[in-house]
Structure 1
């Protein structure tokens, strides 16, 4: 798989967004009405990724956008996960997990302190992914986003703490005589 940054309004992104909206409509009876602008996913205030299969077809997507404290219960420093989606034929290959890890690393590098996301009860696969990736569900009173007051809404957060280096730290040098 080739995972690369793509503009949110790129034709491949539009195609995958149309597909995810159809899935939302099938699961919830309507598409997601959250207003999204391509500029929201432009670094360093966001990032949008698409995974391409070996034949060059777009098969998975995900992005993050910066959020600040305001009327929808976000906090300063939040990075909001949006449009995580894998086409049905490509599911079961850990693509969502790989995209999620890349988005978290990018948001962390951009100085964001917490990843947040809103999903729904009709997406148990998504909920399982986020829980297994270290996300914590927030209480109803602390939900955020456009759908925070709906019964089906579930919101999750994960701190974006600095990762410790994976290479060993060199031993101290001996003092010079």
Structure 2
């Protein structure tokens, strides 16, 4: 899929989360976490969780270079009190610093929402942190609203949790 944003072209390619291009971007994201929080994201991520039909991962390429990524994994009621059957948890959203401000994060997020709805899921959920002002601005502006805490960082005072229902019209 080709996305044109602010004069730039981003090619979105479904890609395994453990593909070298994805791994390089996720490594850069973990470096951002180390700089901002003092450590990497401790959330366990099994590559099989991000494989269809119960997950999805996408890498965005500009001029053949991997510059952005993100994925979702299906979640279920009972895994955590805040989660429901039909939830898709957003993980590993990242845009390389040199490529920010072009709308790539919004394009990745829209693709994740589209793919989750197409898989029959009903709600996107995520955790982000106060030290990520880009994310704290993006998600509410994309229609995400606060939700109860879940997961590894549920007790963290710097974590924030958001959810957005997926529209039936999005289900292809």
Q: CA deviation at 1:164?
A: 7.2
Choose between structure 1 and 2: higher strand proportion.
2
The alignment's C-alpha RMSD in Å is 1.3
State how far apart, in whole Å, the 2-side matches of 1:2 and 1:104 are.
Answer: 17
**Which TM-score applies when normalising by structure 1?**
0.88
User: Match of 1:60?
Assistant: 68
Aligned mate of 1:36, from 40, 45, 53: 45
Q: 1:112 to 1:164 in 2, by over 3 A?
A: closer
Q: CA deviation at 1:70?
A: 2.5
Residue 94 (1) aligns with residue 103 (2)? yes
State how far apart, in whole Å, the 2-side matches of 1:120 and 1:18 are.
Answer: 18
- State how many pairs are aligned: 161
**Which TM-score applies when normalising by structure 2?**
0.90
Bigger-Rg structure (1/2):
1
State how far apart, in whole Å, the 2-side matches of 1:161 and 1:71 are.
Answer: 24
Gaps of 5+ in 1: 166-177
- Post-superposition Cα deviations, 1:24-53, rounded to whole Å, max 9, x if no partner, equal 111111100101011111111011000011
Residue 158 (1) aligns with residue 164 (2)? yes
